[in-house]
A and B are shown apart, each in its own frame.
Chain A
Amino acid sequence: MSEHLGKDITMEEWVKLESKRRRKDAAKQFFRIFFGRGWLSKCCLVVLVVFILAAVFCPLLTVYSPYEQSLIDALQGPSREHLLGTDNLGRDLLTRTMYGARISLCTGLLSSLIAMVIGVTLGLIAGYFGKFVSGVIMRVVDAQLSIPPLILTMCLAAIFGGSILSISIIIGISSVPMYVRMVYGQVLSLRENDYVAAADLIGQNKLKIMFKHLLPNCFATIIVLFTGNVGISIMIEAGLAYLGIGITAPTPAWGTMVSEGYNYFMFKPALALVPGIALMLLIISLNIVGDGLRDALDPRLRGKL
């Protein structure tokens, strides 16, 4: 009541004002921790934002098309028209790198989202429901884990072809077991808490308990997994592209660019190095920003002010 003293307000108004004040405090706290981790995380955030902007706005940022070939201009060095030079088919390297960012970020985010939705749901069900259901789910997950992920993705890509969507789904599926196991373990310990028994006593049904009481308390774990997973998914996608599986030339995926540029390494190392370094920078900054996100969210989620 103290902050709003002096005015005659009703309880509802006070609740609204108080909730707004709390949200503001929470947001302030979040940003304080998120940005307070030193110059490295600030740098990485900038790098990440640059990549994201490049990925989103690349058609506006460049006049070239990533596919248009111009053999006359092949293998040129950096110049005013081509800031990073051209590749062996005369395509602008910078443009192709930016479009590659789009592909990497899309597949990374999409596959992680797919993995999260499927994995978390299965983990919740396996953790909360009885022995038979959890047994079946966990054994299927174990079975999947016994297949080397690269081989699994290769086979699936061979069967389903290589559009961004199908590659995202495939990488997503290969990441599902990680989520299932983490959430399963988390739910196993969470469901022993008294508040779950209390929810049962007041008459709540099992489904609601799962999504209202168990799931929100898993958010910390899930977010930690998600931030790590995006980086890993991007790596897998690049690896597949490098091997020529899934996304193939002429689509400007970074992995493909590295594999093609490798042939010209002696004359123009930039062809392979630029996408390689871009990949490295993106994944590193994703991981470090993910760390910061984790820290900023974690104590709040655990409830320490």
Chain B
Amino acid sequence: MKATVANDTILKVENLEMLFPLTKGLLSRQYASVRAVDNISFEVTKGKTFGLVGESGCGKTTTGKCILRILEPTAGRVLYNGVDITKMPRKELKQYRRELQMIFQDPYGSLDPRQSASSMLKEALTIGQTKKSTGEINDRIEELLVLVGLNTEMKVRYPHELSGGQRQRLGIARALACDPKLIVCDEPVSALDVSIQAQIINLFERLQEELELTYVFVAHDLAVVRHIAERIGVMYLGHLVEVLDSSDLFQNSMHPYTKALLSAVPTIDYYAEKSRNRILLEGEVPSPINAPSGCPFHPRCKYATEQCKKQRPELTDRGGEHMVACHNV
């Protein structure tokens, strides 16, 4: 369990909140709001991976987009290398824009179908940069393609001529073209086949080592997140319910939701599977429009008490930087 040294922290999220207004009527009167992200705080160490895990509707993708200001958060702060970029005007943000990149989930929708690979990478390389000669640009394009494991001949290809795994690699090349320092990876392997997933995960790890990248890895697949992240944040209905080191995840998780999530994920260890205790959750994930009062998990929690219904638990450190938001642990 390492302590986070302040100057090693590349990203600090403080009390981040994202409310989507629900409007009704001709004049778009707001009658309620969806608390997609509700008071999230965490830190990311430089050169490491922070995994954000949870089921659909928990707000992990929205958090990723708020960090990069693709969506404008309604409250809270995002500090990049100590600089508050939350409300920074677009002009000022430009200098940091290229250092913060994203890799998207859908390998089909994340590439412009009318742009060839080289045209796409050229665009990424040349915007707002000092003018380079065509030769330099071409060289860099080929470097990038090789870096992500693609054949240089693929630079003439269009997205529809590439497979899912190849498209994802191209998306990574585009992000790398901007010389990023922090990359938010939004479910980058969920849409891929098992054997291709493994290739792309290895690619992510190799790039992190070679280029000293920091990742915020958003996914719903616990096994993938445990594999690639050093620190994991578990989200439920817009709240962070547990933050812990990934090595603690399987044996030492404390929050009832984390435990249920772990139990629900089948592994390929045959004998372990047969002897596992299975925790089955009742009910469905509630809609974020009608979030329960107090602790968001209490309707489905075996250990819920009166306090859980009324008071929302805070994330507190239970020792060794293991943070849990629960009254009963």
Contacts and interface: CB of A to CB of B under 8 A. Distances in A.
A binds B: yes
A202 B109 contact: no
Contacts of A213: 112, 115
Interface stretch (A43-51, A121-129, A192-200, A272-280): A192-200
B127 A202 contact: yes
Contacts of B102: 197-198, 201
A70 B52 CA distance: 88
A208 to B, nearest CB: 8
A142 interface: no
Nearest to B158: A303
B123 A303 contact: no
Given A303-B113, A305-B161, A15 B155 contact: yes
B98 A203 contact: yes
Contact of B114 (A12, A201, A216): A216
Contacts of A212: 123
A11 B142 contact: yes
A213 B115 CA distance: 8
Given A197-B70, A201-B100, A15 B156 contact: yes
Contacts of B124: 202
A214 to B, nearest CB: 9
Contacts of A62: none
Interface string B108-147: 0111111100100001100110000000001000100000
A302 to B, nearest CB: 8
B178 interface: yes
Name the residue among A15, A18, A197 with the largest chain B CB count within 10 angstroms.
A197
Nearest to B178: A202
Contact size range, B: 35 or more
A115 to B, nearest CB: 23
Contacts, number: 75
Nearest to B177: A202
A203 B109 contact: no
A11 B113 contact: no
A22 interface: yes
Interface string A201-219: 1111000000011001100
A29 interface: no
Contacts of B177: 202
B54 interface: no
A36 to B, nearest CB: 21
Contacts of B111: 195
Interface in B29-71: 68, 70
A45 B98 CA distance: 51
A1 interface: yes
Interface string A6-19: 00000110110011
A142 to B, nearest CB: 14
A304 interface: yes
A18 B115 CA distance: 16
Given A22-B156, A194-B109, A201 B97 contact: yes
A199 B177 CA distance: 12
**Which of A203, A213, A302, A303 is packed against the most chain B CB atoms within 10 Å?**
A203
B246 interface: no
B113 A1 contact: no
A189 to B, nearest CB: 11
Contacts of B105: 194
Nearest to A304: B160
B106 interface: yes
Contact of A303 (B155, B160, B174): B160
A19 B156 CA distance: 7
B152 interface: yes
B61 to A, nearest CB: 11
A97 to B, nearest CB: 42
A194 B97 contact: no
11 contacts: A15-B156, A18-B156, A193-B109, A194-B106, A194-B110, A195-B112, A198-B110, A199-B123, A201-B68, A201-B101, A201-B178
Minimum-distance CB pairs A-B, first 10: A303-B160, A194-B110, A194-B104, A216-B114, A203-B127, A195-B112, A202-B124, A194-B109, A203-B128, A193-B109
Given A12-B138, A15-B156, A304-B160, 14 more contacts: A11-B138, A11-B142, A15-B155, A19-B156, A194-B106, A195-B111, A197-B104, A198-B104, A201-B101, A202-B97, A202-B101, A203-B94, A217-B113, A302-B113
